[in-house]
Amino acid sequence: MTNFKNLRGMVDLLPAHSQGWQKVESIALKHFSRAGLNEIRTPIIEQTELFSRGIGENTDVVGKEMYSFDDRGGRSCTLRPEGTASVARSIVQHGLLNNGPQRLWYRGPMFRYERPQAGRQRQFHQIGVEFVGLPSVMSDAEVISIAWDFLKDVGLVDLTLEINSLGSNEDRNVFKEELKNWLNQRFDLLDEDSRKRINVNPLRILDTKNKSTKELLFEAPSLKDFLSNKSKIRFDYLLDLLDKLKIPHKINNNLVRGLDYYSHTAFEITSEHLGSQATVCGGGRYDGLISELGGPRAPSIGWAIGMERLIILAGEKILQSKSPDVYVIHRGDKAEQLALEITCQLRSFNLKIELDYSGSSFSKQFKRADKSRARWALIIGEDEASKGQLLIKKLRHKPKDVESNEYTFLKEDLDQLIKKLID
RNA sequence: GCGGGCGUCGCCAAGUGGUUAAGGCAGCGGCUUGUGGCGCCGCUAUUCGGGGGUUCGAAUCCCCUCGCUCGCCCCA
């Protein structure tokens, strides 16, 4: 086999699916624009250190999933594994916060070197929102509601919003020490993975899928008992606001998420219809990231939605492409010129026109017209061409109306023809 | 990185050692030189992911390899 193939985990978006993506993206744009967000586009390659510093040296994403390489100048570069770090970098670099808080959205490909499986690819696409420089609890609620409303509008059902508070950095550090102690006392009861994590990233152990460790953890100290009063009040208020917005939510005290920069609010929107990769949207608050990258103190919150997973959930319906309004059938040299001319004219009226190129018999062309699911056929043969006439025929009509579904117009009376096509 | 399943035409798919590798969909052509949605007829894989081996003979057995897929870890 000498033919070329796409790299593992890299997926072509084929014509049969592209209109579905466009549909979803246009719904997203509608939601973003009415929420007053502006788009930001950043490069898909950054210097490696941006991600290792921003996302966290000990995270799985940085530790084993990055597409990194040295460029010809010997600089270590990385294909972005997520969007937030790049957006934060750009905001700091261009001093955008001097113009006040930033409400932004982005979309594009992300890269993670993992074994592909259902709902997971090496190149995948995220569409995301970042509210930067807004400490208010209201912004948490607003940001979540944008995601929720968007997903609902796309037609998704059976979604669950899981939410947790990680507290402030101080809360969490106290808790981490306490948890480490507790875990170390039960070291030989832990599974291998969790043992490795104790010192590196003890919080992630809370999220373990290992059964016996999970049972053990029922007795473990809980992060929520270490939240300061301030953090608790903040979280409770957020839950209140979500109630007011009628967004159902489930508190999940073990929801930690894999990126280091989160504090206070962490959330995921999941679906039971996705197989084992259940998260369609993940996000949270990152109050320290901007300053960590050299910017001002700018508490922020955002989320990212996985487009591929979203499309899976939206299902077949959204992938169906729009059928043409008119399928143009023609035969003969003179007819061909008129057909092209009329096709272009009709398109200027925003009608979707498909022009037959086969030059085969009328019978064949009609068959193709039918297959295209067009509402109308426009027929130009030798007769029409010489008389300057246009014949249209309504397709997909009940047989009893056969005699009444053809109409002839002079090519000068295009506006009458269009009127007929539209009604 | 670690487990399980699978690889026959663009898609679905029969075939499990014996001369020509079913069938369906899609495509192309015809029945029908100007009228579709139905029907009928014809055409479309020297070849079974690739390489090696066993055998008189392999898509069918063995070995290696590549790929896909599902799951674990983790995430969108």
Measure, in angstroms, how far nucleotide B22 C1' is from residue A359 CA.
35
Per-residue pLDDT at A49 exceeds 80: yes
* Confidence band of A197 (pLDDT split at 50, 70, 90): confident
Express each pLDDT in A207-234 by its tens digit: 777 777 877 888 888 888 999 999 999 9
Locate A185 and state its tokens: 């006392």
- Kindly report which listed range (A32-41, A181-190, A191-200) carries the lowest average pLDDT score: A191-200
pLDDT score recorded for residue A317: 80
Express each pLDDT in A232-273 by its tens digit: 999 999 999 999 999 999 999 888 887 888 899 999 999 988
- Judge if the beta carbon of A381 is closer than 7 A to nucleic acid strand B: yes
Measure, in angstroms, how far nucleotide B40 C1' is from residue A396 CA.
23
Protein residue closest via CA to C1' of B67: A8
Nucleotides of B under 7 A from a protein CB: 1-3, 26-37, 49-50, 67-76
CA–CA distance, A36 with A322 (Å, rounded to integer): 30
* Confidence band of A1 (pLDDT split at 50, 70, 90): very low
Side-by-side strand order, sheet with A353-355 = A353-355, A326-330, A376-380, A389-394, A406-410
Protein residue closest via CA to C1' of B31: A363
Q: Which nucleotide is nearest to A304 (CA to C1')?
A: B76
Q: Which residue has the tokens 């990126």?
A: A259
* Residues 6 or more apart whose Cβ sits within 8 Å of residue A275: A118, A119
Beta-bridge mates of residue A250: A162
Tell me what the pLDDT averaged over chain A comes to: 91
- Judge if the beta carbon of A400 is closer than 7 A to nucleic acid strand B: no
Pairing of strands A376-380, A326-330: parallel
Q: What is the pLDDT averaged over residues A182-186? A: 87
- Judge if the beta carbon of A120 is closer than 7 A to nucleic acid strand B: yes
- Judge if the beta carbon of A275 is closer than 7 A to nucleic acid strand B: yes
Q: Which nucleotide is nearest to A363 (CA to C1')?
A: B35
CA–CA distance, A101 with A143 (Å, rounded to integer): 14
- 8 A C-beta contact, residue A280 and residue A159: yes
The DSSP result for A320-354, as a single string, is PPPPPSEEEEE-SHHHHHHHHHHHHHHHTTT--EE
pLDDT score recorded for residue A418: 94
Residues 50-89 (A) near nucleic chain B, CB < 7 A = 59-61, 65, 82
Strands in A12-169 per DSSP E: 38-39, 45-47, 67-70, 76-79, 102-111, 123-132, 159-165
- For residue A265, report the phi and psi dihedrals to the nearest 5 degrees: -70, 130
Ordered structural domains, chain A, with CATH: 15-168+228-318 (3.30.930.10), 326-422 (3.40.50.800)
Express each pLDDT in A106-140 by its tens digit: 999 999 999 999 899 999 999 999 999 999 999 99
Measure, in angstroms, how far nucleotide B16 C1' is from residue A7 CA.
33
Per-residue pLDDT at A401 exceeds 60: no
Q: What is the pLDDT averaged over residues A34-58? A: 95
* Confidence band of A348 (pLDDT split at 50, 70, 90): very high
Helix axes A15-34, A137-154, angle to 10 degrees: 150
pLDDT score recorded for residue A398: 62
Quick one: what percent of chain A has pLDDT higher than 70?
Answer: 97
Measure, in angstroms, how far nucleotide B72 C1' is from residue A351 CA.
51
- 8 A C-beta contact, residue A179 and residue A203: yes
The DSSP result for A25-68, as a single string, is HHHHHHHHHHTT-EE----SEEEHHHHHHHH-TTSHHHHH--EE
pLDDT score recorded for residue A403: 56
CA–CA distance, A102 with A383 (Å, rounded to integer): 64
Per-residue pLDDT at A415 exceeds 50: yes
CA–CA distance, A127 with A143 (Å, rounded to integer): 13
- Judge if the beta carbon of A119 is closer than 7 A to nucleic acid strand B: yes
- Judge if the beta carbon of A306 is closer than 7 A to nucleic acid strand B: yes
- 8 A C-beta contact, residue A301 and residue A143: yes
Q: Which nucleotide is nearest to A406 (CA to C1')?
A: B35
Please tell me which residue, A341 or A275, carries the higher pLDDT value.
A341
Express each pLDDT in A136-158 by its tens digit: 999 999 999 999 999 999 999 99
Measure, in angstroms, how far nucleotide B61 C1' is from residue A2 CA.
28
- Judge if the beta carbon of A194 is closer than 7 A to nucleic acid strand B: no
* Residues 6 or more apart whose Cβ sits within 8 Å of residue A415: none
pLDDT score recorded for residue A211: 74
Protein residue closest via CA to C1' of B72: A209
Q: What is the pLDDT averaged over residues A356-374? A: 90
Measure, in angstroms, how far nucleotide B52 C1' is from residue A7 CA.
27
CA–CA distance, A114 with A64 (Å, rounded to integer): 8
pLDDT score recorded for residue A48: 96
Within 10 angstroms of residue A200's Cβ, the number of other Cβ atoms is 12
Measure, in angstroms, how far nucleotide B22 C1' is from residue A211 CA.
50
- Judge if the beta carbon of A308 is closer than 7 A to nucleic acid strand B: yes
Measure, in angstroms, how far nucleotide B66 C1' is from residue A115 CA.
16
Per-residue pLDDT at A400 exceeds 80: no
H or E element at residue A259: none
Express each pLDDT in A306-342 by its tens digit: 999 999 999 878 888 888 999 999 998 889 999 999 9
Within 10 angstroms of residue A192's Cβ, the number of other Cβ atoms is 8
Please tell me which residue, A245 or A184, carries the higher pLDDT value.
A245
Per-residue pLDDT at A35 exceeds 70: yes
